[in-house]
Amino acid sequence: MTSISEIDSQSGTMIQVENPATGEVLCSIRNMNAEDVQDLVARARSAQPQWAAMDFSQRARLVRAWRSWFIQHREHIIDLIVAENGKTREDALLAEVFYIADSMGFWAKNAAKYLAPESPRTHSPLVLGKKITVHYRPLGVVGVIAPWNYPLTLSIGDALPALMAGNSVVIKPSEYAPLAVQYVVQGALEVGFPQGVIVAASGGGATGASLVDRADMIQFTGSTRTGRQIASRCGERLIPCSVELGGKDPMIVLADANLERAANIAVEWSMRNSGQICMAVERVYVEESAYELFVDKVVKKVAALLQGLPGGYGTVDVGAITYPAQMDVIQSHVDDALEKGARILVGGNPGRGPGRFFEPTVLVDVDHTMKCMTEETFGPLLPIMKVSDADEAIHFANESTYGLGSSIFTRDIGKAEGLARRLVAGNTWINDAIMSYLAQEVPFAGSRESGLGGRHGAQGIRKYCDTHTILTTRFAPSHELTMFPNSARRSRAFERLLVLMFGRK
Ligand code: NAD
């Protein structure tokens, strides 16, 4: 059997999917080659025109039927996510099943509004009296390439606006967590989606690359390294792409903050899903006078977390590490920090069990020479650094190649809002974390190496469309002043008009 690390060099082979919390092999999936992907894209392409010809309400009706199916089958969906991902049942319920059900309703309701034709009034005197309408037209076949950490949220969640815009979609889920996606895609067919409108490919990086070679637009979520390759290939093909990439989110805790809440949120969003969240809290900067108390609170809370094999609701707080190579990254960040003078206050080792676990870990005496403060860890690691004041905190928070999320804790809201504007990030949460992701009306996007494009809101669906501007001249003379033949008298008159209009300071 092909090992999962060999799959990129092969095609037409099978890939084992394992449960990261137990080490048990769950099943094998096909590692599709370029011809397989070509077939899927061809199916999607032939289904798309009919799908695009349906009106929004017809597509919305199908998406709502899909949502009913999804809720009816939630138990099995959660079982699949927990098994292939090693995450807790609560993680699967809240961040995947709840989000997707909510998202299905959101896009079914709002797609028509975001994509309604627009007729803006033009400012240009040369276009006065003409009617201009901007239409949004689907691009064709959208390829959605997804990571393993939130297998449904980051695949079906992106497919929904693409579908509602009238595209067909080929999803390439992660080879490490493909099962829930395949099941939910089947559900779409069961409720009456036309064949080919949404299909799932299976395979590794090479399968994804084949999709990039054939689709009309790529929506990618994953590492910055892969995102760069995909954006570059899309550039060669001159097709649009939206890439949602890594992060190293800072949290700033000022001395006047509600330290109990700040500590709860630091622990929650560094340890939930074992820290395998693009917008996890990956580093904390605490103002000097609050530092001891904050660290004390965090350490007690982290030490009390229960880690282990995810069972029913409430059995464990922290699950497994999904991606095998991530264990080495986490360990190397801990080792590097210790070598450079950091101290571990809790955790620090691989966890016990048949599967892959890493203990929830708190590091102090850290600085920016250490990988744990500058590179994405993507694990249950919380480094806490003392800073002298808010300015120093902002300085270090911005000292990163990433710019996804960020948070600030203080009771002085005016000050927080001022500081927020100084952070280089796509999202800032004041006395909170992550929650704007659930407000699907507003953009979620990364700056710097955290991504290009973004999801949610108007731009989260318009990115799946071409714009088509139609100008209509209804009542006009046969000959207008700007038409041939050129005349020196008219051109000089235009020049005087130009100076009159734009020449004043
Ligand atoms: P990854 O880049 O290794 O893989 C992501 C997907 O890309 C997988 O389906 C993989 O098979 C595919 N792929 C790999 N090489 C490819 C290639 N050359 N061409 C096309 N497809 C290819 O990422 P991962 O390890 O699955 O996910 C973890 C990363 O995702 C982290 O860096 C995390 O921060 C990021 N992430 C970002 C967001 C966000 O919204 N910004 C959300 C979740 C995760």
34-92 confidence digits (pLDDT tens): 999 999 999 999 999 999 999 999 999 999 999 999 999 999 999 999 999 999 999 99
pLDDT value of position 481: 85
Range of the domain at 389: 249-401+405-441
From 37, 149, 248, 274, the mutation candidate for ligand 1 (largest count of ligand atoms within 8 A of CB) is 149
Mean pLDDT on 135-153: 98
Same domain, 336 and 195: no
Which residue's alpha carbon is at the smallest distance from atom 10 of ligand 1? Answer: 205
* C-beta 174 within 6 A of ligand 1: yes
Ligand 1 centroid – CA 20 distance (Å): 18
Phi, psi dihedral angles at 441 (to 5 degrees)? -75, -20
Last residue of a domain, one of 228, 246, 264: 246
What is the percent of the chain with per-residue pLDDT over 90, rounded to a whole number?
94
Is 484 a member of any domain?
no
Both structure tokens of 168: 């067909």
Q: In whole angstroms, give the CA distance from residue 55 to residue 63.
A: 13
Same domain, 41 and 188: yes
Phi, psi dihedral angles at 84 (to 5 degrees)? -85, -20
Ligand 1 centroid – CA 145 distance (Å): 8
Q: In whole angstroms, give the CA distance from residue 406 to residue 425.
A: 7
**Is the confidence at residue 6, as pLDDT, over 60?**
no
CATH number, residue 357: 3.40.309.10
Give the mean pLDDT of the chain.
96
Mean pLDDT on 383-411: 98
Ligand 1 centroid – CA 495 distance (Å): 55
CATH number, residue 43: 3.40.605.10
* C-beta 456 within 6 A of ligand 1: no
**Which residues contact residue 367 at a Cβ distance below 8 angstroms, ignoring those fewer than 6 apart?**
340, 373, 385
Q: In whole angstroms, give the CA distance from residue 292 to residue 344.
A: 15
From 145, 155, 220, 450, the mutation candidate for ligand 1 (largest count of ligand atoms within 8 A of CB) is 145
Q: How many residues does the chain have?
A: 505
* Cα distances (angstroms) measured from residue 319 to each of 76, 168, 267, 273, 365: 19, 35, 14, 7, 27
Same domain, 264 and 235: no
Same domain, 87 and 180: yes
Q: How far is CA 123 from the centre of its chain?
A: 37
* C-beta 426 within 6 A of ligand 1: no
pLDDT value of position 12: 57
Same domain, 358 and 437: yes
Please give the model's pTM, rounded to 2 decimal places. 0.96
**Is the confidence at residue 189, as pLDDT, over 60?**
yes
Same domain, 316 and 370: yes
Q: In whole angstroms, give the CA distance from residue 296 to residue 288.
A: 14
The interaxial angle of helices 156-164 and 179-190, nearest 10 deg, is 30
Per-residue b or e along 262-278, where b marks 16 or more CB atoms closer than 10 Å to that residue's CB: bbebbbebbbbbbbbbb
Same domain, 266 and 391: yes
Q: What angle do CA 112, 115, 117 make, to 5 degrees?
A: 110
Is 460 a member of any domain?
no
Q: Residue with structure tokens 């048990």?
A: 24
**Is the confidence at residue 4, as pLDDT, over 70?**
no
Catalytic residue ranges = 244, 278
* C-beta 360 within 6 A of ligand 1: no
* C-beta 454 within 6 A of ligand 1: no
Residue type, 413: I
Q: Which helix (H) or strand (E) holds 250?
A: strand 249-253
Same domain, 354 and 218: no
* C-beta 208 within 6 A of ligand 1: yes
Last residue of a domain, one of 198, 229, 246: 246
Is 452 a member of any domain?
no
Same domain, 202 and 274: no
* C-beta 84 within 6 A of ligand 1: no
Q: Given the CA of residue 244, which atom of ligand 1 is nearest to it?
A: 41
Alpha helices in 191-323 (DSSP H): 205-214, 224-237, 259-271, 288-303
Same domain, 207 and 320: no
pLDDT value of position 1: 39
